[in-house]
Copies of this chain bind each other. A is one copy, B any other.
Amino acid sequence: MTDHEPLELERFLPYRLSILSNRVSQAIAREYQERFDLSMTEWRVIAVLARFDGEGLSAREVAERTEMDKVAVSRALARLVTAKRVVRRTHDGDKRRSVLLLSAKGWKIHDTVAPLAREYERALLARLDEEERRTLERVLDKLAPV
């Protein structure tokens, strides 16, 4: 029989990252999905608009900062604007650009979901000791620029 050197999927880093990432994301997403009928894309848009509050980001800037596809952002924004969670104006000097801001409704969602998310992250990290957390941080930074 030939030597096929099978890949051990469950030890393979990209695979493990994929499984872990899906589980972790799903765990939080389920929560806000149910409570607010909010997709992950929409939540990320809200998070970024909250973070850069007052700057009136454009859709393109939101896409950059969320690392999401501009189509995905466009669709998420369409829903968020319809639900009056985000206010969309047009940029003064450039009529192509939109100017995006969270509405009171949007802020309310943010202020509910953000603590949930942080708490979930805290619980995850609590499984690690101080040194592991520091190293994880470093490792993620080193691996990031794929």
- In the bound complex, do residue A14 and residue B24 qualify as a contact, i.e. CB atoms below 8 Å apart? yes
Report if A78 contacts B (CB, 8 A): no
B27, B28, B51: the one within 8 Å of A9 (CB): B51
| Interfacial chain B residues near A142, Cβ < 8 Å | 127-128, 132
Q: A13-B24, A21-B18 are in contact. Are A107 and B4 (CB under 8 A)?
A: yes
Please measure, in the bound complex, the distance between the C-alpha atom of A18 and the C-alpha atom of B29, giving whole angstroms: 13
- In the bound complex, do residue A8 and residue B51 qualify as a contact, i.e. CB atoms below 8 Å apart? yes
- In the bound complex, do residue B14 and residue A18 qualify as a contact, i.e. CB atoms below 8 Å apart? no
A22 nearest CB across to chain B (Å): 8
Q: A135-B136, A139-B128, A143-B124 are in contact. Are A17 and B24 (CB under 8 A)?
A: yes
- A136 and chain B: residue at smallest CB distance: B139
- In the bound complex, do residue A21 and residue B27 qualify as a contact, i.e. CB atoms below 8 Å apart? no
- In the bound complex, do residue B24 and residue A117 qualify as a contact, i.e. CB atoms below 8 Å apart? no
* A 1-35 to B, binary, CB cutoff 8 A, 1 in contact else 0: 01011111110111111111111110110000000
Q: What 10 new A-B contacts, CB under 8 Å, besides A9-B47, A19-B144? A: A6-B110, A7-B51, A8-B51, A9-B65, A14-B124, A19-B67, A20-B143, A21-B22, A24-B143, A24-B146
